[in-house]
Amino acid sequence: MHTAHRRASKSQQDQVWRTLVERQIEAVQRGMSREFLAGLELAQLDPARMPRHRELSTRLASLCGWRIETVPGLIPARDFFELLRDRRFPSPEWIRHPDDLEYTPAPDAFHDLFGHVPQLASAEYCAILEELAAAARGASDVELLEIERVYWFTIEFGLVQQGPEVRAMGAGLASSIAELDRSLHDPAVRRRAFLLHEARRENFQSDRPQELYLVSPGFVPLAASLSDLGSANRRRAG
């Protein structure tokens, strides 16, 4: 049984980071989207040392205009999308305990930095993040929940068609060996084409592996399809 938010000590942080990167990198190279891999190359994350927020934020700002915003853990969705609109990505500074490498009940630094920073370094991912963040401006609580669902089925656990292959695009898959392989190859899970009107209403599971993955047709058509998501909200917000 896992203890909620059990964290590595400061002396353990780099070893946990190093172990997780070593375990994950081959699966990521094999299964993640071309855009994620290009972002990972640009981000130049040190495989032996957990990134420190201040220095990573400074480097990212120079590279792609994003910064890392240090938070204690999960934050409300409205605050999350507000940070994205300001090109700040929230992340805690803690990383999971060495005994909990397989699972953490809330996003830790490995998920946020190894999973999301390569996305921030990718123009294709950023186009999607910008559409979602813009849609959240002025959204009602019901609309905001729909935007969260779309975010979940794209940026967190989305798949994408790339030529004849389906590859993973989501940060939650990049940071999980077991679920990355499962999402692409397990015949027991459902994979369905991404349709915006369906994704807005599809509930997701945050406490266990997904039973459904949505396959986007590509980054450019996905971003284009999201442009209508918050158009009414933007008009109301002025």
| Tens place of pLDDT per residue across the chain (238 aa) | 334 568 989 899 999 999 999 999 999 999 999 999 999 999 999 999 999 999 999 999 999 999 999 999 889 999 999 999 999 999 999 999 998 888 777 889 999 999 999 999 999 999 999 999 999 999 999 999 999 999 999 999 999 999 999 999 999 999 998 899 999 999 999 999 999 999 999 998 777 788 999 999 999 999 999 988 866 555 555 5
pTM > 0.75: yes
Chain centroid to CA 224: how far? Answer: 19
pLDDT on residue 229: 82
Question: Residue 17 and residue 230: Cα distance in Å, rounded?
Answer: 37
pLDDT on residue 209: 81
Question: Residue 175 and residue 196: Cα distance in Å, rounded?
Answer: 25
Phi, psi at 121, each rounded to 5°? -85, 0
Cβ partners under 8 Å of residue 34, min gap 6: 162, 167
pLDDT on residue 2: 37
Domains of the chain: 13-237 (1.10.800.10)
Helix or strand run (H / E) with residue 13: helix 13-31
Phi, psi at 134, each rounded to 5°? -65, -40
